[in-house]
Amino acid sequence: MRNYEDKIISGKIISQQIKDEVKEEVASLKEKGLYSHLAVVLLGDDPSSQVYVRNKELGCEYCGIESTVIRQSKDITEKELLQIVKGLNKDKKVHGILVQMPMPEHISKEKVILAIDPMKDVDGFHPYNVGQLLYGSSDVLLPCTPSGIMELLDRSDIAIAGKNVVVVGRSNIVGKPVFHMLLERNATVTICHSKTKDLVGVTKQADILVVAIGKANMITGEHVKEGAVVIDVGVNRVNDKLYGDVEFETVAPLASRITPVPGGVGPMTIAMLMKNTVKAALNSEK
Ligand code: NDP
Give me the tens of pLDDT residue by residue for the chain, a chain 286 residues long: 688 999 999 999 999 999 999 999 999 999 999 999 999 999 999 999 999 999 999 999 999 999 999 999 999 999 999 999 999 999 999 999 999 999 999 999 999 999 999 999 999 999 999 999 999 998 899 999 999 999 999 999 999 999 999 999 999 999 999 999 999 999 999 999 999 999 999 999 999 999 999 999 999 999 999 999 999 999 999 999 999 999 999 999 999 999 999 999 999 999 999 999 999 999 998 8
* Shared-domain flag, residues 86 and 170: no
CA–centroid distance, residue 28 to ligand 1 (Å) = 38
- Residue 212 pLDDT: 98
Is residue 202 within 8 A of residue 192, CB to CB? The reply is yes
- Residue 1 pLDDT: 64
- Residue 2 pLDDT: 80
Residue 209 within a domain:
yes
Domain holding 247: CATH number?
A: 3.40.50.720
* Shared-domain flag, residues 147 and 194: yes
Residue 138 within a domain:
no
Residue 27 within a domain:
no
* Shared-domain flag, residues 39 and 87: yes
CA–centroid distance, residue 88 to ligand 1 (Å) = 31
pTM value is: 0.97
The CA angle 266-270-275, to the nearest 5 degrees, is: 135
Q: Which residues contact 231 (CB under 8 A, 6 or more apart)?
A: 9, 149, 152, 153, 208, 209, 210, 211, 258, 259, 264, 265
CA–centroid distance, residue 99 to ligand 1 (Å) = 20
* Shared-domain flag, residues 97 and 179: no
CA–centroid distance, residue 175 to ligand 1 (Å) = 8
* Shared-domain flag, residues 262 and 147: yes
CA distance 121 to 181: 18
Q: Which atom of ligand 1 is nearest to the CA of 245?
A: 32
- Residue 49 pLDDT: 95
Residue 210 within a domain:
yes
* Shared-domain flag, residues 150 and 99: no
Is residue 11 within 8 A of residue 266, CB to CB? The reply is yes
Please state the separation of Cα 57 from the chain's center in Å: 16
Residue 19 within a domain:
no
In terms of residue numbers, what domain contains 78? 33-117
Residue 277 within a domain:
no
Domain holding 69: CATH number?
A: 3.40.50.10860
Buried residues in 203-242 as b, exposed as e (16+ CB within 10 A): bbebbbbbbbbeebbbbeeebbbeebbbbbbbbbeeeeee
Ligand 1: which residues within 6 Å by Cβ? Answer: 145, 168-171, 173-175, 192-196, 199, 212-215, 233-236, 265-266, 269
Residue 7 within a domain:
no
174, 179, 197, 231, best to mutate for ligand 1 pocket (most atoms within 8 Å of CB): 174
Active centre residues (catalytic): 56, 100, 123
Total domains in the chain come to: 2
Q: Which atom of ligand 1 is nearest to the CA of 236?
A: 32
One DSSP character per residue, 190-244 reads EEE-TT-S-HHHHHTT-SEEEE---STT-B-GGG--TT-EEEE---EEETTEEE-
* Shared-domain flag, residues 107 and 151: no
- Residue 176 pLDDT: 98
CA–centroid distance, residue 214 to ligand 1 (Å) = 4
Whose C-alpha lies nearest to ligand 1, atom 40? 266
18, 196, 218, 233, best to mutate for ligand 1 pocket (most atoms within 8 Å of CB): 233
* Shared-domain flag, residues 110 and 147: no
Residue 154 within a domain:
yes
* Shared-domain flag, residues 262 and 149: yes
Task: Name the residue type at position 34.
Answer: L
- Residue 45 pLDDT: 94
Is residue 103 within 8 A of residue 112, CB to CB? The reply is yes
Angle between helices 266-284 and 47-63 (to 10 degrees): 60
- Residue 104 pLDDT: 95
* Shared-domain flag, residues 95 and 150: no
* Shared-domain flag, residues 159 and 56: no
- Residue 102 pLDDT: 94
* Shared-domain flag, residues 166 and 112: no
